[in-house]
Structure 1
Amino acid sequence: MAKLTIEVAYGTAQKQKLYRLQLDEPCTARQAAIAAQVCTDFPETQPETAPLGIFGKIVPDEQLLRDGDRVEIYRPLLADPKEARRKRVAQQK
């Protein structure tokens, strides 16, 4: 069985971490996110349900990985980016 070398990335404003894994092929983005055991460093993370991306592009859970891919686990937005920008602009005036 072939092996894939991939990375799983997760971070907060205070801390970022990159997990390097070797997984059996075929492997999906969701399987890699769960295999990285991100919860040991970030207990608030939910790799079973969080949105995922590969190199900055959102992908479905069943997206098959290729050797060298970087899976990113995204955090939920706490504020609407457009609304946050409006507030910053209003404060500057």
Structure 2
Amino acid sequence: MIRVCLVYSPAARQVEEVTLELPDGATAQMALQASGWLDRWPEIHDLPVSVWGRKASATQALREGDRLEWCRPLRVDPKIARRERFVGQGARTAGLFSRRRPGAKPGY
């Protein structure tokens, strides 16, 4: 028997985590079925799975202590979100050089 941890975030600031004991040679798909999460969130079947943050397949054999994570797609591209935040904040109030010492040269 191996012990694995399953993690899924169905919505922002909401995390579901469960620890299961599975037989040796169990796969990510078997872990998902054993957890009962398919009944609660049917869309989880189509989401990519990762083991400790590294992309994995549903047929990959699991090892003791693995952490399976199901990843929702991003709603907003992080680059675009950062660009929009910067426009809203203005160039003088954001970034590395926002709080300069009095009399310092620009960019330092």
Aligned to 1:48: 45
Whether the 8 Å CA contact 1:7–1:20 is kept in 2: the answer is yes
1:92 equivalent to 2:89? Answer: yes
Unaligned runs of 5+ in 2: 91-108
Whether the 8 Å CA contact 2:28–2:62 is kept in 1: the answer is yes
Where does 1:3-82 land on structure 2 (aligned, <5 Å)? 3-11=1-9, 12-39=11-38, 43-44=40-41, 46-82=43-79
Larger deviation: 6-15 or 29-38? 29-38
Structure 1 length as normaliser, TM-score?
0.80
Q: Deviations over 1:43-76 (max 9, x none)?
A: 4552211111111111122221101101001111
Match for 1:61: what amino acid? A
Structure 2 length as normaliser, TM-score?
0.70
Whether the 8 Å CA contact 1:8–1:70 is kept in 2: the answer is yes
**Number of corresponding residues:** 89
After TM superposition, what 4+ stretches of structure 1 lie above 3 angstroms from structure 2?
Answer: none
Question: Could you tell me how far apart the structure 1 residues matched to 2:43 and 2:56 are?
Answer: 16
Structure with larger Rg: 2
Unaligned runs of 5+ in 1: none
Q: Share of identical aligned residues, percent?
A: 31
Higher relative contact order at CA 8 Å, sep ≥6: structure 1 or structure 2?
1
